[in-house]
Amino acid sequence: MSRSVKEGLARARELILSHRRFVILEHEKPDGDCVGSSLALALALEKWGKQALIVSDDPHPVIYDFLPGQEHFTRTGYLGLADFHADVAIFLDCGEPERCGRALPFAQKAKYWVNIDHHVSNTKFGDAVLVDPSAAATGEILWYLFGELGVNIDARIAVCLYVAVLTDTGSFRYENTTPRALRMAADLIEKGARPQEISELVYEAKPLSSVMLLGEALQTLEIHAGGKIACVSVTREMMKKVAATSEDTEGIITYPRSIQGVMVAVQFREADEGVHVSFRTRRAVDASRIAETFGGGGHPRAAGALIKGKTLPEVKTLVLEEVRRVLEQNPDLVVKA
């Protein structure tokens, strides 16, 4: 554990122990780590007789409805700023305060800010900075914090933290699947988290429309560049046909990427504002560099861009040409088979 993490732990401990009312802030469009972490923290604070309120700009995805602690959750707009006065605001999984959107005013009323996150890009804001980029999830950092605070992890808290680490490691498949993350998961099972039940609830409670949309999108699967590029399209017509929401489009791009030999997977999606293009790449190709060519951005393995004023077929021609160019002109970017 680094010195800054140790210091952050100590300072966060101090601020939490010496105050009574907490507001917990999540980033916009909260994911499993964010939701699991904030519920776990609210439940832990509740155990000590503290008041904890989670305020979020967006709802929690319905698949996390099974998690305990939801009674601590509210959305901006449902609660007036005057209704809850917090001593301390705790930001979870937010690289910068602005990431919590319209929930930020609730934090601005608090005396102290605690910043708990695992993103390397975190701006280190706040009075207590507990940022550990080596943690697989923000939930993993809470695990240490609870240890530091002497919280007795019960089954309800264990389930929330398990969801945090399970989802942020992609069911223990991503690079952040560290020995520490796996050992924490093992401990959480001993404390009452049921891995199969949780995995079923998280990964096997898909809306019918999302499975149908996947079927539609796979019909458009195309392979280019001798198998190195695979792309799929999601049209407005398809979305309408299966009554899909934009959430249903998530995950579709993992299918072209999962094909043997594919280096770059591309998804084109028609929307009112233009054509959304998503990129997923294998290790040797930088997705964010491709996305930047089209005014977008992202991470080395996952990036995207929004292209306006063109039809899907036009965007497709344009983008595939660029991806082909990247693969051809940068042979060092291409993994040797």
Q: Which is nearer to a second copy, 4 or 258 (CB)?
A: 258
Residue 300 as a binder of a second copy (CB under 8 A): the answer is no
Separation CA 272–CA 210 (nearest Å): 20
Residue 81 as a binder of a second copy (CB under 8 A): the answer is no
Residue 224 as a binder of a second copy (CB under 8 A): the answer is no
Residue 245 as a binder of a second copy (CB under 8 A): the answer is no
x/- map, 263-282, a second copy, by CB under 8 A: -------------------x
Contact between 235 and 313 under an 8 Å Cβ cutoff? The reply is: no
Contact between 312 and 235 under an 8 Å Cβ cutoff? The reply is: yes
For a second copy, the binding residue among 3, 173, 308, 336 (CB under 8 A) is 173
For 26: left if phi > 0, alpha if psi spans -120 to 50, otherwise beta; the answer is: beta
Residue 324 as a binder of a second copy (CB under 8 A): the answer is no
Query: What distances in angstroms separate CA 223 from CA 107, 160, 283, one per listed residue?
Result: 49, 40, 19
Residue 302 as a binder of a second copy (CB under 8 A): the answer is no
| Torsions phi, psi for 230 (to 5 deg) | -130, 135
Residue 237 as a binder of a second copy (CB under 8 A): the answer is no
Cα angle for residues 171, 174, 180 (degrees, 5° grid) = 80
For a second copy, the binding residue among 77, 78, 150, 190 (CB under 8 A) is 190
- Provide the 10 A C-beta neighbour count for residue 176: 19
Q: Which amino acid is at 205?
A: A
Residue 227 as a binder of a second copy (CB under 8 A): the answer is yes
Residue 3 as a binder of a second copy (CB under 8 A): the answer is no
For a second copy, the binding residue among 121, 152, 196, 329 (CB under 8 A) is 196
**Of 256, 257, 264, 260, which is closest to residue 219 (Cα–Cα)?**
256
Longest pairwise C-alpha distance within the chain: 63
**Of 171, 220, 160, which is closest to residue 26 (Cα–Cα)?**
160
Q: Which is nearer to a second copy, 129 or 185 (CB)?
A: 185
Separation CA 95–CA 116 (nearest Å): 9
Residues 6+ apart with CB under 8 A from 132: 1, 2, 5, 8, 118, 140, 141
CB of 184 to a second copy, least distance (A): 9
Residue 189 as a binder of a second copy (CB under 8 A): the answer is yes
Residue 155 as a binder of a second copy (CB under 8 A): the answer is no
Stretch that binds a second copy, among 3-11, 125-133, 210-218, 329-337 (CB under 8 A): 210-218
Separation CA 244–CA 234 (nearest Å): 11
Q: Which is nearer to a second copy, 19 or 118 (CB)?
A: 118
Stretch that binds a second copy, among 15-23, 116-124, 140-148, 211-219 (CB under 8 A): 211-219
- Provide the 10 A C-beta neighbour count for residue 289: 17
Stretch that binds a second copy, among 23-31, 44-52, 116-124, 166-174 (CB under 8 A): 166-174
Residue 172 as a binder of a second copy (CB under 8 A): the answer is yes
Separation CA 123–CA 317 (nearest Å): 39
Stretch that binds a second copy, among 4-12, 170-178, 303-311, 322-330 (CB under 8 A): 170-178
Site of interaction with a second copy (CB under 8 A): 171-175, 177-180, 182-183, 185-187, 189-190, 195-196, 199-200, 203-208, 211-212, 214-215, 217-219, 221, 223, 227, 254-260, 282
